[in-house]
């Protein structure tokens, strides 16, 4: 399965993805999403699921079925926008609490066996060169942390520039 995580207005999303999406789960901005409380309940109370049951509590399970994760996010200070970041924060049930060394650093053991290509499209009118460097470093760190492959990171001035590129 492919997952698309984005922070676009519905109309912009439809402009970018005008054809029907097969085998794709779309995570769209939703004001009712709650933020992670840092309780680790997704590891030690209900392992594999977030204890907040607001419709975003099963992100870890959904990610375990993905071979591609496509992210379209406004670039905020070199990272994701608050909504997209919230989705990542609410997804740590995807990994196991125990630690493993990767590249000489501490990371998490996997809970699931799948691996995914992470493709990230950042947009924004004021992205600086420094923020591009941060964003590339961040996506590489995310991929290492989640056991994925950072397949693509790109930057666009606006959403129109993404047309035809995110299919």
Q: Which residues bind other proteins (CB under 8 A)?
A: 35-40, 43-45, 47-49, 58, 60-61, 64, 76-83, 85-86, 88-89, 91-92, 96-99, 105-107, 111-112, 126, 128, 130-131, 134, 137-138, 141-142, 145
If the CB atoms of residues 105 and 158 are measured against ligand FMN, the closer one turns out to be 105
**Residue indicated by tokens 């984005």:** 6
92 touching ligand FMN, by CB under 6 A: yes
145 touching ligand FMN, by CB under 6 A: yes
How would you write 66-126 as a 3-class SS string? CCEEEEEEECECCECCHHHHHHHHCCHHHEEEEEEEECCEEEEEECCCCCCEEEEEEECCC
- Choose the contact partner of 107 out of ligand FMN, other proteins, none; CB within 5 to 8 A by kind: other proteins
Beta-bridge partners for 123: 74, 156
Cα separation, 144 vs 104, whole angstroms: 12
Cα separation, 1 vs 62, whole angstroms: 9
- Choose the contact partner of 86 out of ligand FMN, other proteins, none; CB within 5 to 8 A by kind: other proteins
Residues found near ligand FMN in the complex (CB under 6 A):
36, 38, 89, 92, 145
């Amino acid at each position: 399965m492919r997952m698309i995580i984005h922070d676009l207005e519905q109309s912009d999303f439809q402009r970018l993805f005008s054809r029907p999406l097969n085998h794709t789960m779309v995570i769209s901005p939703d004001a009712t999403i709650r933020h992670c409380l840092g309780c680790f309940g997704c590891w030690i109370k209900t392992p594999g699921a977030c204890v907040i049951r607001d419709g975003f509590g099963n992100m870890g399970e959904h990610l375990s079925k993905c071979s591609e994760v496509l992210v379209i996010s406004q670039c905020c200070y070199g990272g994701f926008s608050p909504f997209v970041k919230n989705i990542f924060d609410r997804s740590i049930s995807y990994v196991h609490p125990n630690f493993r060394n990767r590249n000489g650093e501490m990371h998490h053991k996997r809970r699931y066996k799948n691996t995914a290509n992470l493709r990230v499209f950042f947009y924004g009118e004021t992205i600086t060169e420094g923020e591009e460097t941060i964003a590339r470093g961040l996506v590489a760190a995310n991929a290492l942390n989640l056991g994925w492959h950072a397949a693509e990171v790109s930057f666009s001035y606006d959403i129109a520039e993404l047309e035809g590129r995110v299919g």
